[in-house]
Amino acid sequence: MKRFLLASAGLLAITSTAVASPAAPADGRLVEPHLHVTRSGAAQPRVALTFDACMGKADERILSVLVQEKIPATIFVTARWLKHNPQATATLLAHPDLFELENHGLNHIPAVDRPVAVYGIAAAGSPEAVRQEVQGGADAMIADHIPQPHWFRGATAKYSLSAIEQIRSMGYRIAGYSVNGDGGSLFGAAVTEKHFAAARDGDVIIAHINQPTHAAGEGVARGILDLKARGAQFVRLQDVEDTGDDGTTLSMSPS
């Protein structure tokens, strides 16, 4: 839990410089890639709602709005979250028309392939550990009868460029975002609702669906309804073309 809260706090400070060892090479910076979906070009914005289920519980305030309003979304699950939330997982799987389930990793550790701390959380630390984090997440999903994931989003949403290349070579696109909806679930309800309201055509919103006791979830539920009232067209990542920074979605050049 402490680890998650640290990760959450980090999302509040997305402009802060990533923690990197002084010995890191010049290309050793960490990146936090953006992701957009192709715009609708229509008056109504096209928006992709993406939710992270890091660990902890399921936020029924958000889940029930999505189900009742028939709003599609992409949910990034960890093996840890799946293990503790069989009922919510069954709800997600019961609505394949609404929910695309993707890979948020095995143990919710940052997908960085050298030993650094990201917001105080020890990263995977090696290419082998990155591989385990990604593959372990997928294995848990498949064991739960979830279709093979095609997108990965790592804990803290920060990566080294070499880890991005490695994860891409495992067959994944990497899911950045363009709107920080809930500040790692630490925003208040009103601020969260405002962030959702700020979404424009082509935006990918990140928020959390695993903190039922946080005020942010209430703002997420309201923000979704506000977007629907605006006529937003909700899309999942698998249904549209996407463009991400830092080589997260484009074809890799041969090296």
Summarize as ranges the residues that interact with Zn ion (CB under 5 A).
52, 54, 155
Tell me the closest approach of the beta carbon of residue 106 to Zn ion, in angstroms: 12
Closer of 4 and 202 to Zn ion (Cβ): 4
15 contact partners, CB below 8 Å, separation of at least 6: none
Tell me the closest approach of the beta carbon of residue 93 to Zn ion, in angstroms: 20
Q: Give CA separation, 98 vs 64, 143, 224, in Å.
A: 12, 21, 14
Tell me the closest approach of the beta carbon of residue 210 to Zn ion, in angstroms: 8
Closer of 204 and 232 to Zn ion (Cβ): 204
Tell me the closest approach of the beta carbon of residue 129 to Zn ion, in angstroms: 17
Element (H, E) at 99: strand 99-103
Give the position of tokens 């402009």.
15
Closer of 101 and 232 to Zn ion (Cβ): 101
Tell me the closest approach of the beta carbon of residue 58 to Zn ion, in angstroms: 14
Angle at CA of residue 31, ends 118 and 55, nearest 5°: 50
Whether 12 and 192 have beta carbons less than 8 Å apart is answered as no
128 contact partners, CB below 8 Å, separation of at least 6: none
Closer of 114 and 153 to Zn ion (Cβ): 153
Q: Which residue is nearest to Zn ion (CB)?
A: 54
Closer of 116 and 155 to Zn ion (Cβ): 155
Closer of 46 and 158 to Zn ion (Cβ): 158
Whether 113 and 166 have beta carbons less than 8 Å apart is answered as yes
Q: What are phi and psi of 35, to 5 degrees?
A: -140, 135
C-alpha 52/C-alpha 75 separation (Å) is 6
Tell me the closest approach of the beta carbon of residue 44 to Zn ion, in angstroms: 29
> What's the token pair of residue 185?
């679930």
